Amino acid sequence: MRISKNRKKLFNDFDINKTYEPLDAIKILKDKSYVKFDETVEVSVNLNIDSNKTDQNIKGVINLPKGTGKDIKVAVITSEDKQNEAIENKADIVGSKDLIDEISSNKIEFDILIASPDMMPQLGKVAKILGPKGLMPNPKLGTVTNEIGRAVKDAKSGQVKFKNEKSGIVHAGIGKLSFKDEDILLNLRTFYSSILKNKPDAVKGSFVKKVTIASTMGIGLKINQVSLR
């Protein structure tokens, strides 16, 4: 009941239909936060695409310059000669066939899975488990690679995967509300720029229809795109 009253007050205090300058919106999210935990700042990008057409869908991965503020648990499946490289770069779980066996019994205790190319044939038997969870390693996302150390370092330092939903919207967490305003803005601009660079050739005209940011328990604020470029 208390939260409902707080959310109602949020609606009464400002115009949710207004387009805000990015820094102004970030300051509002901070000022209006009423919870005791460090909320995630989330961005939603509404794209002018037809998601039923495969050549108009986008997905990718980006390293946010100021990180995400989230502790990412990284698992690595690779041959023994590369396992030390994973451990030295602070991978949380490292293995080969033994780790695949754990996954096959639905024991999944990681956020990102990285694999060397030679292990992919063996990983095929757990693809039906990993795929629906968005954890299947993919070369396009940098999670199938021989550069194990670099991949682990990137994943731990603030790597964000993105993929449009059927509605044509891309969602991502770009930091914590406790970040400096300028750091949130830098992550937001970096994410927005990456989306623009992934514009499919099949999409003509305007690509991004709307950009909105919100905190975990806050309200979405529409952002002036021109200020993000």
The structural domains of the chain, ordered by start, are 14-58+164-228 (3.30.190.20), 74-156 (3.40.50.790)
pLDDT band at 1 (very low <50, low <70, confident <90, very high): very low
pLDDT at 11 over 60: no
pLDDT in tens, 109-141: 998 999 999 999 999 999 999 999 889 999 988
Give the pair of three-digit tokens for residue 225: 């795109």
Beta bridge partners of 215: 41
List CB contacts of 159: < 8 A, sequence separation 6 or more. 61, 62, 63, 64, 72, 112, 142
Residue 87: per-residue pLDDT = 94
Q: What is the largest CA-CA distance in the chain?
A: 60
For the chain, give the mean pLDDT: 90
- What is the average per-residue pLDDT within 101-115? 93
Q: Higher pLDDT residue, 14 or 94?
A: 94
Residue 208: per-residue pLDDT = 95
Question: Under the phi-then-psi rule, with left for phi > 0, alpha for psi from -120 to 50, and beta for the rest, what region is 54?
Answer: alpha
- What is the average per-residue pLDDT within 154-174? 90
Report pTM: 0.77
The Cα 65–Cα 183 span in angstroms is: 8
The Cα 129–Cα 113 span in angstroms is: 13
The Cα 136–Cα 185 span in angstroms is: 31
